[in-house]
Structure 1
Amino acid sequence: MDDLERELRDLSAWLETPDPPHVAARVRARLAAPAPRPRRWRYLLAAALTAAVVAVLPPGRAALADAAAGLLRFAGVTIATTPDPALPTGAASALPSQRPATVVEAQRKVRFPIRTPTRLGPPEQVLVADPDGAGFCRVATLLYRGGALRIDAFDGRLDLAFHKGASAPGATWVRVNADFAVWIGAPHALSYVDREGTVRRETARLAASTLIWQQAGVSYRIEGDLTRPEAIEIARSLG
């Protein structure tokens, strides 16, 4: 069971649970249950870990750890948890059809409400990107501090909007109000996933500390030179 124990230790870095041994016991119980012969132990491990993670999260949350594939799917973002991800170098291209807009104009261009954080006030600049055939954009971005701090908002019903690469030790579960969120406190790769599910490598860039969460059906990510408490405070002030 050495492989199982190693997988569980890796997964534990993502979970803030007061009783890790209890979770491990549930996983072992799942593995001990009879299963059809064609199933491999790694498939069973993935299923058991998934059940354990869902068990410690509130019912209905869109958070799922896929230990076998080394991915965390949360709030429209896929985070790779494999060690030593390749970090991009050089400048990234803008998101598809990205352009500046006023807050009022941006609100007309997206299907979700644009909320600004009272902690930061009105944004210095607003960007919209990736319009569909009807002209509605998929992403709205609020920029602060000369662009060094940004808040990306995108429709939470979309499967993927950004693709991140981060090692598990750099990412942890936190809370924004009563909801779960993911905090990535280390540099990580960030690239855009288009409407067809294709990762746009040309948009890949090195991202700063990031907080990811959902609120009222919309997914958000705050990125900048922030501590975790600062990012959570900004997120909680989103009006």
Structure 2
Amino acid sequence: MDDLERELRDLSAWLDTPEPPDVTARVRARLTAPAPRRRRWRYYLAAVLAALLVALLPPGRAALADAVTGLLRFAGITIATSPAPALPTGDPSPLPAQRPATLHEAQRLVHFPIRLPAKLGPPEQVLVADPDRTGAYRVATLLYRGGTLRLDAFDGRLDPAFHKLAMGPGVELTEVDAGYAVWVGGPHALTYVDRTGTVREETARLAASTLIWEEAGVSYRLEGDLAKADAIEIANSLR
């Protein structure tokens, strides 16, 4: 608990809003609730810490990387804020067992609804990836603008992270549909984590600016050459 205690003490300097909301009851209930598995207590505690950040740090006040030291897991994305790794070189490998599909077929192959951004319209191409033994795919990807703009959707209820990214300052809290999101405002190293929790370094690539959020148990990752305001507008148009 030493590292966690140190991070919470560091965080206390940021909790200076005039009238912070009373989250004591929610925090106590989350910490005392029985977890399905003992090894998952850190996940619940991290969720409480993220909730405190959202309640007490207004979006845009400071970079998230400066508010939480080292590591944050949000919407299936594990974000390491320091130290920044060497950037990948060469062409990235596709996601595990990735293949094209029609939109109708992709909807049958994943266990979550595929929502389309009204701001972009129908995708130019649809991909599915990372199937389990039953043939159910974990990831659906919608591609636009010749593949330079992509929207990844995956089942956020699965325990293993979907991606791991690492970068320096530039990670910010923001909002999508009144829920909190994370904006990564520049290129960053990215690796894929499959459904078993194995990090697949062969898929490492240099990603563009990215917006990450979660809705109704589905996690989303919008990546492309976009300003933050444009990315949020696209995310808010999901139907």
Are residue 161 (structure 1) and residue 162 (structure 2) matched?
Answer: yes
**Is the 2:212–2:222 Cα contact (8 Å) retained in structure 1?**
yes
Q: CA deviation at 1:177?
A: 1.2
> 2:118: which partner in 1?
118
> 1:217: which partner in 2?
217
* Whole-Å separation in 2 of the counterparts to 1:196 and 1:225: 31
Identity across matched positions, percent:
61
CA separation of 1:128 and 1:51: change in aligned 2, threshold 3 A = closer
> 2:58: which partner in 1?
none
Letter in 1 for 2:213: W
The DSSP-based 3-state class of the residue aligned with 2:229 is: helix
Which stretches in structure 1 are left out of the alignment for 5+ residues? 27-47, 59-63
RMSD across aligned positions (CA):
3.1
**Is the 1:49–1:67 Cα contact (8 Å) retained in structure 2?**
no
Are residue 150 (structure 1) and residue 124 (structure 2) matched?
Answer: no
Q: CA deviation at 1:97?
A: 0.5
**CA deviation map 1:151-174 (0-9, x unaligned):** 00000102311111122x211000
Q: CA deviation at 1:22?
A: 7.2
Letter in 2 for 1:135: G
CA separation of 1:19 and 1:100: change in aligned 2, threshold 3 A = same
**Is the 2:143–2:150 Cα contact (8 Å) retained in structure 1?**
yes
CA separation of 1:52 and 1:202: change in aligned 2, threshold 3 A = closer
**CA deviation map 1:81-100 (0-9, x unaligned):** 10433211111110111000
Are residue 55 (structure 1) and residue 49 (structure 2) matched?
Answer: no
Which stretches in structure 2 are left out of the alignment for 5+ residues? 1-5, 25-44, 56-63
Aligned length in residues: 202
* Whole-Å separation in 1 of the counterparts to 2:209 and 2:150: 11
**Is the 1:143–1:149 Cα contact (8 Å) retained in structure 2?**
yes
Q: Normalization by structure 2: what TM-score? A: 0.76
**Is the 1:92–1:202 Cα contact (8 Å) retained in structure 2?**
yes
**Is the 1:176–1:213 Cα contact (8 Å) retained in structure 2?**
yes
* Whole-Å separation in 1 of the counterparts to 2:125 and 2:78: 27
Equivalent residue for 1:19, pick from 14, 17, 36 = 17
**CA deviation map 1:108-145 (0-9, x unaligned):** 10000001100000000000001111100000000000
Are residue 97 (structure 1) and residue 97 (structure 2) matched?
Answer: yes
> 2:226: which partner in 1?
226
CA separation of 1:118 and 1:81: change in aligned 2, threshold 3 A = same
The DSSP-based 3-state class of the residue aligned with 1:57 is: helix
The DSSP-based 3-state class of the residue aligned with 2:121 is: coil
* Whole-Å separation in 2 of the counterparts to 1:103 and 1:95: 18
Q: CA deviation at 1:20?
A: 9.1
The DSSP-based 3-state class of the residue aligned with 1:173 is: strand
* Whole-Å separation in 2 of the counterparts to 1:124 and 1:232: 21
CA separation of 1:52 and 1:205: change in aligned 2, threshold 3 A = closer
**Is the 2:7–2:68 Cα contact (8 Å) retained in structure 1?**
no
